Amino acid sequence: MSTPQQGLRARDLSLGYEGADIISGLTLDVPDARVTSIIGPNGCGKSTLLRGLGRLLNPRSGDVLLDGIPLREHSTRHIATRISVLPQAPTAPSGLTVADLVSRGRHPRQKWYQQFSASDERVVEAALEATDILELADSPLEDLSGGQRQRAWISMTLAQETGILLLDEPTTYLDLAHQVDVLELVRRLYREHHRTVVMVLHDISLAARYSDHIIAMKDGAIVAQGTPSEVITPECLLEVFGLDAHVVAEPTEGRPHVIPLGTVGAAPVHT
Amino acid sequence: MVSVLLVLATVAAMALHVAFGGTPMAYPDVLRALLGDDSNTRIHLAVTEFRAPRMVAAVVVGACLAAAGAITQTVARNPLASPDLLGVTAGASLGAVTVLVIAGGGHAGLSGLAATVGMPAAAFTAGIASGLAVYLLSYRRGLDSYRLVLAGLGISGLAASLTTWILTLGDVTSAAQALTWMMGSLNGKDWETVRPMAISAAVLLLAAMSSGRWLLLTSLGEDTAVGLGVRIGVVRLVVLALAVLLASVATVTAGPVAFVALASPRIARALTSTVIPSVGVSALVGAIFVLLADTLSANALAAPLPVGVATAVVGAPFLIHLILKYQRRLS
């Protein structure tokens, strides 16, 4: 901490809405150029932490540092050129087209007196192409399937051209094929360009498949972090989720895969 | 394209209003009077000193209410929202009625300085104070559109009951004068009262029209807007303040004129098929709406109606139509 550090860090961070802190005194170095997933039971503070990292929620105490400087000392527009955020289940007014939405991603880089430039146009088109929805550019968002809509939102974050992407449960409301589709897309887009991704995921096996780094949280604190194989163990699942489970290596890459047996306190199913 | 047509339609409605907004006159005479021919003193006076300021007042009221409506509907993310929800109309009425009843008591109604300066100033101040109260009540760690609607209803209700109570304190003349004002009327507008309103309206409308980009970003929701680098608190405060000021200018000019703020942005959005109503297009639609309503109310019946009655007669069925349409979409 004596030298200024690149990337996104949390130092002694406390976050909350009303009443008691949800997260208190949390310290975290987000691994650069890696895909990180935050897992944990409902209400453990994983979305709160993500909101704090993306300045959607201001710290009660402590700091989130971007390149060693607290977020509150950056302008919110400057942050939007470094970090893009995709909130959980985002909404848009009806009639908004895919191209309209993705073009909003250029806002942080436009001055108020500037029109949409040719280079903005090119970035938007590239973002639509990268997410494979260029032919849907003129369709209203509400006419798209859930998976296509999520691609459009991811496309908007790409148009921001940031090095860091924060995703809050990007697979909510999607069927399994579309969940895999979205996670494949994120991993491909960000690995290719050595960008940093932090996402909140519910499905532990999917998190293990698509992440380089896993952060397990419980009661507002980080219980374990490391590679998927280091973190996703029967002991950790028991401690974090109260879940009794087998962890096996999945056959393609040998990453951990969870086979739930039952919850602790429920009637035992394997004896 | 639509904007050009709307500008032409506005000019046409203005011409129609000057020609037919009162005792009938031959159109060539009206035109000559507008162009500066004062050979027919009676017609020249009627056109330049009565009809022209009344026409400008109609444009001011329509454009301001519609622009305020476009902003309110976008920020509240509710197509049925209007500046009435910001407490402005009810607050301004309370201010105006208080001055009318208290200063006008015992005389033959209100006149002189109290009428030309006191009443507009009271209406303006009370309108803005109500808007501020609604904003402060709905602000808790950011602005929530549901809280905004609830606080607006509460403050409007409070102001309306106080207005009714103050009406009972006054004598018959001032109470009748107050009730006339509360109908929304363009009667007796002269340049002295219209000029400052027209200047304020022009400045506010320009500011409101340049807020379009930010309005679209706020319509994506708070988290997305912040993620895109929008200082959402500042943007909301500024655009809502613009809406409150616009609605106050309109209400001070003509009293509460119903349904213009609600209907005009909806019509504008249907005409241009944009995602959120454009402030400029809404303003043009609002100006045409009030101009036509005022022309109609001067000619439809034997006795001229206040313009507020005419807009309500047209606007109420439109509101019912809107609600039915949304119900059908939901079911």
A54 vs B contacts (CB less than 8 Å): 227
What's the Rg (C-alpha) of chain B? 20
- Map out the domains of chain B with their CATH numbers: 2-330 (1.10.3470.10)
CA dihedral (A175, A178, A182, A184) positive or negative: positive
Q: For a pLDDT cut of 90, what percent of chain A falls above it?
A: 76
Mutate to test the interface with B, among A91, A102, A116 (most CBs of B within 10 A): A91
Average pLDDT for chain A: 90
Judge residue B184's burial from the number of C-beta atoms within 10 Å of its C-beta, 0-12 exposed, 13-18 middle, 19 or more buried. buried
A51 vs B contacts (CB less than 8 Å): 223
Across the interface, of B217, B227, B273, the residue whose CB is closest to A87 is: B227
- What's the complex ipTM? 0.89
AA identity, residue A187: R
A198-234 burial, b for 16+ CB within 10 Å, e for fewer?
Answer: bbbbebbbbbbbbbebbbbbbebebbbbeebeebbee
Q: For a pLDDT cut of 70, what percent of chain B falls above it?
A: 92
Q: What is the pLDDT of residues A211-231, one digit of tens each?
A: 999 999 999 999 999 999 999
CB contact under 8 A, A94 and B275: yes
Q: Is the confidence at residue A4, as pLDDT, over 50?
A: no
CB contact under 8 A, B220 and A104: yes
Q: Is the confidence at residue B28, as pLDDT, over 70?
A: yes
Q: Is the confidence at residue B171, as pLDDT, over 90?
A: no
pLDDT of B331: 59
Q: Between these two residues, B96 and B305, which has the higher pLDDT value? A: B96
- Print the SS3 string covering chain B: CHHHHHHHHHHHHHHHHHHHCCCCCCHHHHHHHHCCCCCCHHHHHHHHHHHHHHHHHHHHHHHHHHHHHHHHHHHCCCCCCCHHHHCHHHHHHHHHHHHHHHHHCCCCCCCHHHHHHHHHHHHHHHHHHHHHHHHHHHECCCECHHHHHHHHHHHHHHHHHHHHHHHHHCCHHHHHHHHHHHHCCCCCCCHHHHHHHHHHHHHHHHHHHCCHHHHHHHCCCHHHHHHCCCCHHHHHHHHHHHHHHHHHHHHHHHCCCCCHHHHHHHHHHHHHCCCCCCHHHHHHHHHHHHHHHHHHHHHCCCCCCCHHHHHHHHHHHHHHHHHHHHHHHHC
pLDDT of B302: 67
What is the C-alpha to C-alpha distance for residues B143 and B237, in angstroms, rounded to an integer? 9
Q: What is the pLDDT of residues A22-37, one digit of tens each?
A: 999 999 999 999 999 9
Minimum Cα–Cα distance from A16: chain B residue = B141
CB contact under 8 A, B224 and A54: no
pTM of the model: 0.85
Judge residue B72's burial from the number of C-beta atoms within 10 Å of its C-beta, 0-12 exposed, 13-18 middle, 19 or more buried. buried
Rounded to the nearest angstrom, the minimum Cα separation between A152 and chain B is: 13
Q: Is the confidence at residue A266, as pLDDT, over 70?
A: no
Q: Between these two residues, A12 and A6, which has the higher pLDDT value? A: A12
Q: Is the confidence at residue A268, as pLDDT, over 70?
A: no
CB contact under 8 A, A93 and B227: no
Closest Cα to residue A200, out of A32, A10, A15, A38? A38
AA identity, residue B186: L
B43 within 8 A of B6, measured Cβ to Cβ = no
For the segment A38-67, the average pLDDT, to the nearest whole number, is 94
Antiparallel, parallel or unpaired: β A23-29 and A8-15: antiparallel
pLDDT of B313: 85
Task: Centre a 10 Å sphere on the Cβ of residue B191 and count the other Cβ atoms it contains.
Answer: 15
Among B12-16, B100-104, B298-302, top mean pLDDT goes to B12-16
Q: Report the CATH superfamily, name and number, of domain A8-263.
A: P-loop containing nucleotide triphosphate hydrolases (3.40.50.300)
B73 vs A contacts (CB less than 8 Å): none
What's the Rg (C-alpha) of chain A? 19
pLDDT of B82: 83
pLDDT of A3: 45
pLDDT of A17: 87
What is the C-alpha to C-alpha distance for residues A151 and A181, in angstroms, rounded to an integer? 9
Q: What is the pLDDT of residues A73-114, one digit of tens each?
A: 999 999 999 999 999 989 888 889 999 999 999 999 987 777
Minimum Cα–Cα distance from B229: chain A residue = A77
Average pLDDT for chain B: 84
What is the C-alpha to C-alpha distance for residues B54 and A159, in angstroms, rounded to an integer? 50
C-alpha distances (whole Å) from A70 to each of A61, A63, B296 are 12, 6, 62
For the segment B94-101, the average pLDDT, to the nearest whole number, is 88
